[in-house]
Amino acid sequence: MTDIEKIVWGGLAGVTIYVIGQLLSKFLIEPLHELRKVVGEVRFNLSFHAPTIHTPIGRSKETSEAARQALMESSCDLIAKLHAVPGYMVFRHLSFGALPNRKDLKTAAIQLRGLSTYVHEEGDKASKNIEIINKRVAKIESLLRLKSLE
């Protein structure tokens, strides 16, 4: 093999490795990272909107709407980011438990949507549903493997 052939083959190998690395990054690593970010955003929304979620007396129309919007966005983002990762279950097993399973993510998204329906309630009805709200929040934290803030 001549020196020119070695240079050409070396260049082709370098380009091939670069392209494979970019494909792995764009189609696997970035979607997994985005999914983990959404789980972090769920934690943020549950914490930031906790006064509205857990304290019916302090609710206003504006804070209730902001909390509802944030919870719905988190729910939709969880589902969207989950479906953006090809072969999610394979990578979940390779992550040694760092990622929740697909069913838990979908259930958490459903629980977030359900929780968003309670943030507008006021008065006696809201007070009666505090236990349901607390159970939904605990379920979401459990499914997404988030530490409880209590």
Q: Tell me the domain boundaries of the chain.
A: 31-143
Which pLDDT score, from 0 to 100, does residue 17 have? 94
Which pLDDT score, from 0 to 100, does residue 114 have? 95
Residues near 13 by Cβ (< 8 Å), separated by ≥ 6? none
Which pLDDT score, from 0 to 100, does residue 68 have? 96
Interior/surface letters 30-41, b for 16+ CB within 10 angstroms, e for the rest: ebbeebeebbeb
Which pLDDT score, from 0 to 100, does residue 122 have? 79
In a 3-state reduction of DSSP, which class is residue 113?
helix
pTM summary value: 0.82
Q: What is the DSSP letter of 49?
A: T
- Number of Cβ within 10 Å of residue 81's Cβ equals 20
In a 3-state reduction of DSSP, which class is residue 71?
helix
For residues 139 and 143, give the distance between their C-alpha atoms in angstroms, rounded to a whole number.
Answer: 6
For residues 126 and 130, give the distance between their C-alpha atoms in angstroms, rounded to a whole number.
Answer: 6
Which pLDDT score, from 0 to 100, does residue 150 have? 65
> Is there a contact between 43 and 84 (Cβ–Cβ < 8 Å)?
no
pLDDT tens digits for the chain (150 residues)?
888 898 989 999 999 999 999 988 888 888 888 999 999 999 999 999 999 999 888 788 999 999 999 999 999 999 999 998 888 888 777 777 778 889 999 999 999 999 999 998 877 777 888 999 999 999 999 999 998 776
